[in-house]
Structures are given as C-alpha cells and as structure tokens.
C-alpha cells in the first residue's frame, strides 16, 4: 500500500505536523497558570469544546473500526448505530447530574469526591483513572502506530515518533487551548477524509443496492439476552450507563465540561455532543457500506489487505487501502493527515487529563506551592505521561493478545462502579466515605463475577450491574441512619423544562427504534 504514497503526500503530512507545532507555540503564549493550562482559562466556546469531545470519541479506532464492522464483519451491518441512541440520553441526564461537579470549581473532577465523601474516595477514583487511561493510551498509540506504519511503509518506531513527537510537544506547549483548537481543525480534516471517501464510493454503492440491503438486514438480531454483545438493549441501556460514566466521571472527557465558561455553557457542550455524534458515525457507517460495494466490484481491494494472526484479512485497514489505491497524489496525503488528526485528537486530551489528575489529586491538593511552579509541573507531567505511553506502546506487542482484547472490558468493569460512586457523592453523601468505597469495590466484584462465571452476559451490561450494585449497597447501608441525601425534587428543579421535554422525546425515539428493529427481526 505504502509504496504508492507520492512525494506530494509526504509534503502535505510534514506541513500539517509543522502547522500543529506552530499553532501550539502561538496559543501557549496566553498561559500563566495551571487553570489556563488545564481549562483554557474558562474562555473556550461551547461549540469548540463540543467539537473537541466528538473528535476525541470519533478517533482513528472509529474511523477504521466502524467501516470494517459495518461493511465486512459478518453480522455487523448498521446495528453499530444502535450504540448511538444512548448518547443523547446520556447527555441529557448529565445536564442535571454533572451540575454539582461543575459547581465545585475544581480542575480535577475527583476533587468533588473529596468534598462530598473524603480524601480516600478521591484518591481511589483518580488512581483508577490514571491506571486505566495511562495503559489505554499506550495501547492506542500501539494500534495507531501500527496502522500508520502499514499505510506509510515506515518502521513502527518512526511512525510513533512522528505521531507522538508532535502530539506531546504541542500538548506541552499549548495545554487545553491547543487541544481544543487543534481538535476543531482535526475534525475538519477528518470530515474531509470521510466525505472524500464517500464521494468515491457512492457510484459503486448505488450500482450494488444489495450491499445496503444485506448489511441493513444485520439489524435483525436478538435483544441481547442470549449472549449477543451487540443486542439492542445491551447497546442502548448498557451504552447509556457507559456514556454517563465516560463523559461524567472520566477526567479526559469531563475536563472539557469543566473548561466551559459557566453551567449553561457546560449543558450546551453536552447537548451539542449529543447532536453532533450521530451524523459523524452515520457517515462512518455509510462509508463502510460503500467500501463493501466497492470490494464487490474490485476484489483486489480485500486481497491487498495484510492478514491478521488468524489468517483473515485485516478489515480495519480497508479504508487506508482504498485511499492509497484510489486517491490522487495530494488528496491521498490529505486523507492520511485525517488519520493522523483522528489519532492526535484522542491522545492529546488523554495526556492533558492524566497530567491534571496527577497534579491536582496527588501532588498539589492542600500543599502551598507557588502557582508558577505548579504551571511548570503541569507541563512536565504531560511530558512524563507522554513518554510513559510511548514506552508502553513498544511493549504492547509482547503482551498476550487476550489482554488487548480485554482492554475495553476492563474499562466497562470500572465504569459502572465509578458512576455509582459519583451518584453516591451527589445524592447519598451522608452515607459516608467508608460505605461509598465498599460500594465501589462491591460493584467491581459483581462485574468480575459476571466476567468469570457468566460469560454469556454481554460486557455492556457490566456498566449497569456495577452501578446498580454500588447504589443498592449505599441505599441499604443508609437505612436506619439519618444519612443526608438530596431529594429527587432537587434533581427535578435542576433540569430545565426544555431538557426534560427533550429527554422524554429521546425516550420515545428509543422505544420507536425498538419497535422498528423488532419488526425487522420478524
């Protein structure tokens, strides 16, 4: 594939990487404190923050994985879109649930746990985030570096150096402002790459309508109660809890919500994210259908893909292979830049948030340290986490494949209990820190038990089970004592009527979708 990259393509890639460095250096001049570095001084517009959140979520893994899943994986099809039904629901609920965290005025969301429960709860949640997000970032770099190596024909180490050298430097220099601004630009490049791909597969797609009908029929599936990880209810209900935990309890996402100017802007970021994600994922899925139709006409596309360890074609590389095969010089370079952009947009926010949690939760807290020193530490910690993730990426290939396959499941094991911990802090903080920590640990045990002894249960249900178990224990432990709690009326008062109406409408949409999928299954 890579031998066909023209000199012009490499010039485009090089100019893009240099432009990112120049942008970060220019934006970094406006920083003077760690609040500037981690939250952009609270001056970033909601539309830019929402675009940054979407860019982080719809990264290289989605750009490669969604078309492969939709167009080439047997039983895949358009059921990928079911996952997206949970996003607007989660965003609407977070519009109310996240407000107490927003009002805490903290840089790290885990400081809210200390305010409501105690220091140990804060450190426990932050440590879980640091471990999982640090490892996940290293795995992401390994995956993206491997793809870039195959696409560009360069050694793995050079692909990682190109990707991470620029990402780390502009993250260290520009902080959250550079992350958000670059994410907006990178989203534009990502959209351009997808739209260019769609424009080139529309003709074979229209000429092969069976590519649409055959894959849409993959929606005809069970409801997810028989071990199907991609059943309707696991993806909608499990996805709802997963997204609430990810956007509301994961520092890498919640930090953008804290960076909004005020509560109304925070809610606007959430709502915009709920609206913007679906069209982009739909474009990914349509691209997958188009590539499947193209492969019917040009079998050499699939034949050119490298084989996986199982000996099957690596369908995750079908879009890069199509780019190299069909895009003209210069245009191919723009598409490859889109891959770089998608990777950088997910890695930069992870490094910035890892630095924020380390500094705020473990190093700074109540210590008297000059702000200028803290500002310097924030940059050094970003650099340190970047180097750690790069070093880990070179060790990933020595880890058993089962670990790589299980990385998302490990995240789902912790998501539910972590969401439960935050809900306890919001509504049942009078239960006490000890009760909250035990509840969190019981949620982890419940999910581990499902993993070990009930493998037929979709891992998406773990997000629900861990949260429900944690909350149930906290409620039971609070019975018989006068534990301060927040009445449900306070929650209702926190939700503007417009959001409540929107929530009801989205619930109606989910139920209507369930009826449609049921009719298709029949």
pLDDT in tens, 427-484: 988 888 999 999 999 999 999 888 889 888 888 889 999 999 999 999 888 875 655 5
Neighbours of 498 (CB within 10 A): 10
pLDDT for residue 501 is more than 90: no
- At residue 425 the predicted structure's pLDDT band, cuts being 50, 70 and 90, is very high
- Domain-located, residue 161: yes
- At residue 488 the predicted structure's pLDDT band, cuts being 50, 70 and 90, is very low
pLDDT for residue 20 is more than 50: yes
Q: Tell me the two tokens of residue 318.
A: 């079908």
- Domain-located, residue 425: no
The predicted pLDDT at position 226 comes to 61
pLDDT for residue 497 is more than 60: no
Diameter over CA atoms, the chain: 74
**Domain carrying residue 105:** 2-27+45-399+487-521
Cα separation of 149 and 154, whole Å?
5
Average pLDDT over residues 50-71: 79
- Domain-located, residue 471: no
The predicted pLDDT at position 358 comes to 96
- Domain-located, residue 166: yes
- At residue 2 the predicted structure's pLDDT band, cuts being 50, 70 and 90, is very low
pLDDT for residue 8 is more than 50: yes
287-307 pLDDT, tens digit each: 888 888 888 888 888 888 887
- Domain-located, residue 260: yes
pLDDT for residue 75 is more than 70: no
Average pLDDT over residues 269-273: 92
| Angle value at C-alpha 123, between 143 and 400, nearest 5 degrees | 30
pLDDT for residue 202 is more than 60: yes
The predicted pLDDT at position 237 comes to 87
- Domain-located, residue 478: no
More confidently predicted of 55 and 499: 55
Residue the block writes with tokens 């050094």: 380
| Percent of the chain residues past pLDDT 90, beyond the cut | 35
Q: Residue 501 belongs to a domain with what CATH number?
A: 1.20.1730.10
Cα separation of 437 and 474, whole Å?
10
- Domain-located, residue 469: no
pLDDT for residue 314 is more than 70: yes
Number of domains in the chain: 1
Sign of the alpha-carbon dihedral angle for 14, 16, 17, 22: positive
151-192 pLDDT, tens digit each: 778 898 999 998 999 999 999 999 999 999 988 988 888 888
- Domain-located, residue 445: no
Q: What is the DSSP letter of 307?
A: B
Which range has the top average pLDDT, 49-63, 126-140, 299-313, 322-336? 126-140
């Amino acid at each position: 594939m890579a031998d066909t990259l023209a000199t012009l393509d490499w010039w485009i890639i090089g100019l893009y990487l240099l432009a990112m460095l120049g942008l970060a250096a220019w934006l970094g001049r406006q920083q003077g404190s760690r609040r500037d570095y981690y939250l952009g001084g609270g001056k970033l517009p909601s539309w830019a923050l929402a675009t940054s959140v979407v860019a982080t979520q719809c990264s290289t893994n989605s750009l490669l994985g969604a078309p492969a899943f939709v167009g080439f994986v047997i039983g895949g099809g358009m059921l990928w879109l079911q996952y997206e039904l949970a996003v607007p629901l989660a965003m609407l609920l977070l519009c109310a649930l996240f407000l107490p965290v927003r009002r805490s005025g903290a840089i790290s969301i885990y400081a809210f746990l200390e305010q409501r429960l105690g220091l140990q709860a804060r450190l426990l949640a932050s440590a879980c985030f640091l471990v999982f997000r640090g490892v996940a970032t290293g795995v992401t770099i390994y995956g993206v570096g491997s793809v870039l190596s195959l696409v560009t024909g360069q050694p793995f180490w050079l692909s990682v150096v190109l990707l991470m050298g620029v990402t780390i430097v502009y993250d260290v220099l520009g902080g959250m402002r550079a992350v958000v601004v670059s994410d907006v630009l990178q989203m534009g490049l990502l959209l351009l790459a997808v739209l260019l791909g769609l424009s080139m597969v529309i003709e074979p797609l229209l000429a092969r309508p069976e590519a649409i009908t055959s894959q849409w029929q993959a929606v005809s599936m069970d409801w997810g109660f028989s071990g199907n990880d991609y059943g309707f209810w696991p993806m909608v209900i499990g996805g709802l809890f997963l997204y609430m935990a990810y956007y509301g309890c994961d520092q890498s996402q919640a930090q953008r919500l804290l960076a909004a100017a005020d509560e109304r802007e925070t809610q606007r970021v959430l709502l915009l994210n709920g609206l913007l994600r679906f069209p982009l994922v739909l474009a990914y899925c349509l691209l997958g259908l188009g590539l499947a139709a193209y492969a019917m006409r040009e079998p050499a596309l699939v034949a050119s893909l490298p084989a996986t360890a199982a000996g099957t074609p690596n369908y995750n590389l079908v879009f890069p292979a199509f780019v190299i095969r069909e895009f003209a010089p210069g245009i191919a370079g723009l598409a490859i830049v889109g891959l770089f952009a998608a990777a950088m947009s997910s890695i930069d926010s992870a490094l910035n948030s890892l630095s924020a949690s380390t500094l705020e939760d473990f190093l700074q807290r109540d210590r008297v340290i000059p702000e200028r020193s803290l500002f310097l530490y924030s940059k050094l910690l970003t650099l340190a986490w970047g180097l750690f993730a790069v070093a880990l990426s070179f060790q990933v290939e020595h880890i058993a494949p089962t670990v790589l396959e299980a990385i998302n499941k490990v995240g789902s094991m912790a998501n539910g209990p972590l969401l439960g911990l935050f809900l306890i802090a919001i509504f049942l903080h009078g239960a006490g820190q000890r009760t909250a920590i035990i509840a969190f640990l019981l949620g982890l045990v419940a999910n581990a038990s499902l993993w070990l002894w009930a493998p037929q249960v979709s891992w998406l249900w773990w997000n629900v089970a861990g949260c429900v178990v944690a909350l149930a224990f906290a409620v039971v432990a609070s019975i018989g004592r006068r534990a301060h709690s927040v009445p449900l009326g306070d929650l209702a008062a926190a939700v503007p009527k417009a959001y409540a109406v929107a929530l009801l409408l989205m619930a109606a949409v989910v139920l209507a979708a369930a009826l449609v999928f049921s009719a298709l299954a029949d």
